Structure formats: C-alpha cells, structure tokens
C-alpha cells in the first residue's frame, strides 16, 4: 500500500512536469488553431537559451529566467510572423507540415549554435529529497510542480481577465466571426506563440534540470500527445489533469509492470492509454464535443 501511494504521488508530480510541456502546445492550438508538431524542439530551444543565459552569461536566475522567457517569446513571435502568418487561410494539413519543417529547422539551428555536447542546467532547483508522512519526494519534482501550478494560475488569469485572452478564445472558437469583429488574427496568433515561447523556456528549464540539455529533450514532444488528447486540445486545466493521469499511469506501470513485462513498458503505457481514450472519447476526457443544437 505504501508503495502504491508513493508511486501515485511520484506520478502526480511527474504529471505537473508533463503539464508544463503540454501547456505551450495547448496555447498555440487555442490561440491559432495550429497543431504544433515542433513543441519538443521549442522546449529544446528553451532549455538551451535558459542554460546559455544562466551558465554562459552568468545572469542570476531571478533575472535570467524571465530574460530567457523573453528571448523565447520573441522567437515564438518570429516563428508566427515569418513561417505561419502566410499560411493563415490555408488548410490544417499545410499548417501541420509547416510546424514539422519548423521543428527540423530549430533542431538543426540548435546543434549548429550550441553543438551536440550535453550541457547541464545550473542547479537552481534543489536536488535533494523531501520526506513528508513517510513518503519521499524528489525536491526537483516538487519545485517543478510548484512552477506548473503558478503557470496554470497565470494562464487562467490571462484567459479570463484580459482582452487578448478573450480574443484568443474567440479566435479559437470561430476565426471568421472573430475577424468580422475586427480581431486581427495576426496579433492574436503572435500573442499565442509569444506566450507559448515563454512557457517553452520554463519547460526547458524544468526538464533540462531533470535530464540535462541536449537533443534528447525533443523526444518529449511525443509525450505531449497523450497528455493533450486526454485533457482536450484546447483546455489548459485539461493539460494539467491529463499530465497527472499520464504521470500516474507511467509511474505505476514502472513500479508494477516493468519487472513483469520487461523494461520500458512504462514509456509505452501512456500511449496505450491514449489509444483507449481515443476509442472511447475522441474529443478527450476534458475536451468539449462540438455543441450542436437540435
């Protein structure tokens, strides 16, 4: 029983880290209707920029992390402006292809600029363990969860209390109607990408602290899909809940099944879960079916 609780708790913390990854993806989809296949690369970019600002430039973290977030936000705006704006009225498929191309370009640029050597993230987040009620938690993951919660709060505020947040929701709902009211798709899309860039910097910081900074971070992009399909493509709280579910499934199958079925089953488990969810609720557990009046 103790082991079960411990695994579940670890999984939940892991889930927050997935949620931070997924939020950037959800933001882009919500704000510009693009299914972003380059989210993994964006996180890699974030990780490199954070480690560069903190380690190479030696900027203190309280200034360095916002600075890195700003740099990545600018990168997001540039991506929107130069890669995607021309495709504004094109089909979803064209947009998806463009993000895949974008991913290749970022990947190439990163190894060109930063080389292939694994960089380490400066130890800003504590690395020890915390013990609470007989359960042991990695301090790193606890702080990652705190960052995830703060991010969730900030985004919830943005969407419900600001004009641009409202406009982003309107654009996600009906682009043409939003345009007819004078909302500029360009401005709204650029905002979505800017925030997604900033969030990617945070995700890069958290995951870079966890795994080290190198091309392997890109693989995280694939883990986003079970999370966002579970949580619904356009729901930020859904990303958190989806992340937690995926985290717990992964942690439990690592604890109980990996020894039985052979190593590595835990990495497949979230994807199996994804398949089952798609069969039962194609719009995700917390996504919304299209409202249809009869």
Partner 1 sequence: MSVRTDVDSVLAIDGLEVVYNRVALVLKGVSLSVARGSVVALLGGNGAGKTTTLRAVSGLLAHERGEVVSGSVSWMGESLVRLSPDRTVKAGVVQVLEGRRVFEHLTVDENLLSGAFTTKSLRQARQATSVVYDYFPRLADRRRQHGGLLSGGEQQMLAIGRALMSEPSLLLLDEPSLGLSPIMVSEIFEIITRLNVDTGLTVLMVEQNAEAALSIAHHGYVLENGRVVLDGTSDELRNNQDVSEFYLGLSGVGERKSYRDVKTYRRRKRWLG
Residues that bind partner 1 (CB under 8 A): 89, 161-163, 166-167, 169-170, 173-184, 288, 290-291, 293
Sign of the alpha-carbon torsion through 225, 229, 234, 238? negative
Give least dist CB 45 to partner 1, A. Answer: 31
Query: Cβ closer to partner 1: 129 or 184?
Result: 184
Query: Cβ closer to partner 1: 17 or 178?
Result: 178
Beta bridge partners of 131: 136
Query: Cβ closer to partner 1: 29 or 143?
Result: 29
Task: Round to whole Å and give the CA distance between 4 and 257.
Answer: 13
Query: Cβ closer to partner 1: 279 or 291?
Result: 291
Question: Tokens in use for 16?
Answer: 């927050």
The DSSP result for 48-72, as a single string, is HHHHIIIIIS---HHHHHHHHHHHH
Sign of the alpha-carbon torsion through 266, 268, 271, 272? negative
Give least dist CB 88 to partner 1, A. Answer: 8
CA diameter of the chain:
61
Give least dist CB 228 to partner 1, A. Answer: 17
Task: Round to whole Å and give the CA distance between 199 and 29.
Answer: 14
Give the Cβ contact number of residue 277 at 10 Å.
20
Query: Cβ closer to partner 1: 28 or 30?
Result: 30
Give least dist CB 27 to partner 1, A. Answer: 16
Phi and psi torsions of 137, nearest 5°: -125, 140
Give least dist CB 154 to partner 1, A. Answer: 17
Give least dist CB 161 to partner 1, A. Answer: 8
DSSP 213: B
Query: Cβ closer to partner 1: 117 or 161?
Result: 161
Give least dist CB 28 to partner 1, A. Answer: 18
Query: Cβ closer to partner 1: 30 or 114?
Result: 30
Task: Round to whole Å and give the CA distance between 114 and 105.
Answer: 14
Give least dist CB 98 to partner 1, A. Answer: 18
Question: Tokens in use for 131?
Answer: 């013990």
Task: Round to whole Å and give the CA distance between 279 and 294.
Answer: 25
Question: Tokens in use for 247?
Answer: 């985290």
Task: Round to whole Å and give the CA distance between 110 and 12.
Answer: 31
Spatial CA neighbour of 17 closest among 196, 192, 129, 147? 147
Query: Cβ closer to partner 1: 3 or 174?
Result: 174
């Amino acid at each position: 029983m103790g082991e079960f609780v411990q695994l579940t708790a670890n999984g939940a913390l892991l889930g927050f880290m997935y949620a931070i990854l997924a939020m950037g993806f959800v933001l882009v989809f919500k704000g510009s209707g693009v299914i972003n296949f380059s989210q993994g690369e964006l996180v890699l970019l974030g990780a490199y920029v954070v480690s560069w600002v903190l380690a190479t430039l030696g900027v203190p973290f309280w200034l360095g992390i916002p600075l890195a977030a700003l740099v990545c936000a600018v990168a997001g705006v540039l991506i929107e402006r130069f890669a995607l704006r021309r495709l504004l009225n094109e089909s979803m498929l064209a947009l998806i292809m463009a993000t895949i191309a974008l991913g290749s370009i970022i990947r190439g640029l990163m190894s060109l600029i930063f080389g292939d050597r694994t960089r380490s993230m400066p130890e800003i987040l504590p690395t020890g363990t915390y013990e609470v009620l007989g359960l042991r938690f990695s301090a790193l993951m606890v702080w990652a969860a705190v960052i995830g919660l703060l991010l969730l709060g900030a985004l919830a505020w943005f969407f419900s209390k600001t004009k641009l947040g409202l406009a982003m929701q309107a654009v996600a709902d009906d682009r043409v109607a939003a345009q007819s009211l004078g909302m500029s798709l360009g401005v709204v899309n650029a905002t979505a990408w800017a925030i997604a860039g900033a969030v990617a910097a945070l995700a890069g910081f958290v995951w870079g602290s966890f795994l080290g900074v190198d091309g392997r971070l890109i693989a995280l992009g694939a883990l986003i899909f079970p999370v966002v399909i579970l949580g619904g493509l356009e729901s930020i709280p859904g990303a958190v809940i989806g992340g937690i579910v995926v985290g717990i499934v992964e942690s439990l199958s690592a604890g109980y099944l990996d020894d039985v079925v052979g190593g590595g089953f835990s990495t497949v488990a979230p994807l199996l879960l994804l398949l089952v969810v798609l069969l039962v609720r194609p719009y995700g557990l917390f996504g919304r079916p299209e409202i249809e009046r009869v």
